[in-house]
Structure 1
């Protein structure tokens, strides 16, 4: 599927195709990755959206997204000048599809997810960062471009987990402090190694020491083992969420 960013932003039929390509059980995980792409860019994440980020991590909490949708909608009513407004609308749509995935009664309209691609890219427009746009496009189209993932759910989960680990390295670890100026692939050569450790159930000590060794031996930095432990914990928590 060769799709231009402009087309995704303006054509709801493309949004529909993108969303319907995502397996039902993986829609919350996929949407959560999209929402988290903005954590670095939103200076103060509104509390209702921050809580939504917590809900999406646990399937047994997905039913809470119905109430959370109402809180996000109330936030928008109370903060009509909030920018970018598309970010809040994106969170609303994500809350709806998370609740729908819980299979609880009275679901929201299934078409709520059709707007996620457009709203995500329109939110990115506000920050005028082409790397963010391309990063979002990669996640948005992962299932549209890899049709076999819709039937191989184990591999699909691993692909999403790989994306989450890559995001943690870029947005949270960033030992050189360059994720606002450097190419997006700056740390991607390390992603396979860390992903392998997480998937093999390595403990936090092994992951943290590996990150620290990369900092000192390959980057020539002093290293920050305490931060590496925090990053390792986040990696392992991400694996449990998946």
Structure 2
């Protein structure tokens, strides 16, 4: 048994410590990133949940998360056979954290974010997929593990940008051709470099050259610059 995963799943104090260390303005993005790890596993994901991501990505809309919470709760009440039910509970917590970050009156319980780590891993356990569990763990610990990256993430939408880069590197770039067999973190060390290029408004050729260099020099994998340009174009459309 993975001791770290077990502790994250069962010890709420660890989840509390992780959450409390997050700056207020990035709490919604962090929570949304954790929730997004289930995108490929949830069939017929209700719009009440998916609509939450656009709210998270725009600070001016965080106030709408209160109503979104109500919609998610109503969906859960009307669909008592929905599985996994913990996923809807997790989405409710994400909505609460997002609204609380707005600073508006009548916030939800201040400890709502303390339970996200534990509940996310409990939700992952439903699917009995070790790669998903690692995905969720990495998302939970992203801000606390990668100290250099902490300085780059300054808004909630930065976490969603991180997610999009992560997905594109894994599904579209994948120079090793392992996205159906290996743990998801294979290319994760490269995300901060691509993220920095996006944040400084670099063009597709600069991004493509970086991807090509990572592929050919860091990994020693042959490939074409044209393919890296196509991946860079997709990244820029995020």
Judge same fold: TM > 0.5, yes or no: yes
Residues 215 and 223 in structure 1, CA contact (< 8 A), matched pair in contact too: no
1:157 and 2:159 correspond: no
Partner Cα separation in structure 1 for residue 99 and residue 112 of structure 2: 11
RMSD of aligned Cα (Å): 3.4
User: Are the structure 2 counterparts of residues 76 and 180 from structure 1 closer, same or farther at C-alpha, using a change threshold of 3 Å?
Assistant: farther
Matches within 5 A, 1:74-113: 74-113=74-113
Ranges in structure 2 where 5+ consecutive residues have no aligned partner:
none
**Does the Cα contact within 8 Å between 1:28 and 1:94 map onto a contact in 2?**
yes
DSSP-derived class of the 2:39 partner: coil
Q: Decide which moves more: 17-26 or 208-217.
A: 208-217
- Asked if the contact 1:29/1:57 (under 8 Å) is kept, the reply is yes
2:172 equivalent to 1:168: no
Counterpart Cα distance in 1 of 2:215 and 2:144: 36
1:229 to 204, 229, 233: 233
Range with greater deviation from structure 2 (5-14 or 111-120): 5-14
1:120, CA displacement in angstroms?
Answer: 0.8
* Cα contact 2:204–2:236 (8 A) shared by 1: yes
Structure 1 residues 162 and 16: alpha-carbon distance in aligned structure 2, compared to 1, 3 A threshold: same
Q: CA deviation at 1:219?
A: 4.8
Deviation at 1:103, TM superposition (A): 0.9
What is aligned with 1:195? Answer: 195
How big is the shift at 1:128?
Answer: 1.9
Q: CA deviation at 1:41?
A: 1.8
Q: Deviations 1:222-241 (Å, cap 9, x if unpaired)?
A: 8496665333211xxxxxxx
How do 1:97-136 residues align onto structure 2 when only pairs under 5 Å count?
A: 97-136=97-136
Per-residue deviation, residues 12-39 of structure 1 (Å, max 9, x unmatched): 2222222112111210111111111111
Of 189-198 and 84-93, deviating more is 189-198
Q: Secondary structure at the match of 2:62?
A: helix
Q: Is the 8 A contact 2:204 2:229 kept in 1?
A: no
CA distance in 2, matches of 1:189, 1:114: 27
Question: TM-score of the superposition, structure 2-length normalised?
Answer: 0.79
- Secondary structure of the residue aligned to 2:57 is coil
Map Cα deviations across residues 58-85 of structure 1 (whole Å, 9 max, x no partner).
0000000000000000111111111111
Runs of 5+ unmatched residues, structure 1: 235-242
SS class of match (1:63) = helix
Cα contact 1:207–1:232 (8 A) shared by 2: no
Which moves more between the two structures, 95-104 or 75-84?
A: 75-84
Change (3 A) 1:39 1:209: farther
TM-score by length of 1: 0.78
CA displacement at 1:189 relative to structure 2: 6.0
Assess if the C-alpha contact under 8 Å between 1:204 and 1:233 holds in 2: no
**Count of aligned pairs:** 229
